Structure 1
Amino acid sequence: MSKAIEQKIGSVALVVENYDDAIAFYTKKLQFELIEDLDLGGGKRWVLISPPNSTGTNLLLAQASNDQQKSAIGNQTGGRVFLFLHTNDFWRDYEQMQANGIEFTEAPRSEEYGMVVVFKDLYGTRWDLLQLNKTTA
């Protein structure tokens, strides 16, 4: 009998300008946890971050090493929202993010699927802060 397929997305690479600046932003402004920071030599590091108490996908911060990668910083999806930060308390996190100086591109809005607002990270990458309705979660 063969094993059932079991897969998950472990990490998503996010191209950043500088490891330390990105770590500081995500851990201080968004309260993410630094999971791993390993020196790989030659200026490369393996840097994993994750939202607090997350059991899902991590972000792998990847410092740009050439002009092509540098041109993608902040715009890895052609101006669309790239990442979706789910929360169990939209207003708590929204207010904390406001207090931490996070840039929002719109006012919070209620959609059929839940509460959402778009914000930018330190490089302009667009994110959704999202609390799904219980029926869509």
Structure 2
Amino acid sequence: MSYLGLVTVVVRDYDEAIAFYVDVLGFELREDTRLDDGKRWVVVAPPGARETAVLLARAVSDGQEARIGDQTGGRVGWFLNTEAFERDYARLQAAGVVFEETPRYEPYGTVAVFQDLYGNRWDLIQPVCDRASGQTGGTTG
């Protein structure tokens, strides 16, 4: 069996990124290993995520610095699934997360676009199978 293990988010600073993803989004810090030359292997994931996690990679070149906050050309690049949209939307708003819109209902689920601390765009989404039945329709993360 194959699966997507990690996706990378290029960050300005490890500690500020950890603070946002762990303290604000509520992710778990899965690994923080120091490497050579001040680099670190930092992995965060939503609680309970079994497969995909996020590798926080500090920019080390001008080209990478230029990509911080716009890694996907302005498109939504990450999709945070939830089985309780209203609860998580309210919690993230209370934590200061910037939402670009009010929640909307699409054929595929309930969704609202938010920004991480650098301006990368994410969807908070409860897939339609979760909304209708209360059951998890896939893995979180």
The answer to whether the superposition gives a TM-score over 0.5 is yes
Unaligned 5+ segments in structure 2 are 132-136
Partner of 2:73: 78
Which residue of structure 2 lines up, in the alignment, with residue 3 of structure 1? none
Q: What's 2:117 paired with?
A: 122
User: What secondary structure does 2:51 align onto?
Assistant: coil
Q: Hey, what does 2:3 align to over in structure 1?
A: 8
Paired position in structure 1 for 2:107 = 112
Distance (whole Å) between structure 2 residues aligned to residue 31 and residue 116 of structure 1: 18
**For the Cα contact (< 8 Å) 2:43–2:55, is it kept in 1?**
yes
Q: Which structure shows the higher helix fraction?
A: 2
1:60 corresponding residue in structure 2: 55
Q: Secondary structure at the match of 1:92?
A: helix
**Which residue number corresponds to residue 15 of structure 2?**
20
CA distance in 1, matches of 2:91, 2:130: 26
Query: Aligned pairs, how many?
Result: 132
Q: TM-score, normalised by structure 1?
A: 0.94
SS in 2 for 1:134: helix
TM-score (norm 2): 0.91
Q: CA RMSD in A?
A: 1.2
Q: 1:133 aligns with which of 128, 134, 140?
A: 128
Say yes or no: does 1:102 pair with 2:129.
no
Query: More displaced, 127-136 or 108-117?
Result: 127-136
Gaps of 5+ in 1: 1-5
Q: Distance in 1 between matches of 2:61 and 2:24?
A: 27
Shift of 1:53: 1.0
Counterpart of 2:84 in structure 1 is 89
Bigger Rg, structure 1 or 2: 1
Match of 2:134 in 1: none
The residue identity in structure 2 corresponding to 1:129 is L
**TM-fit CA distance, 1:135:** 7.9
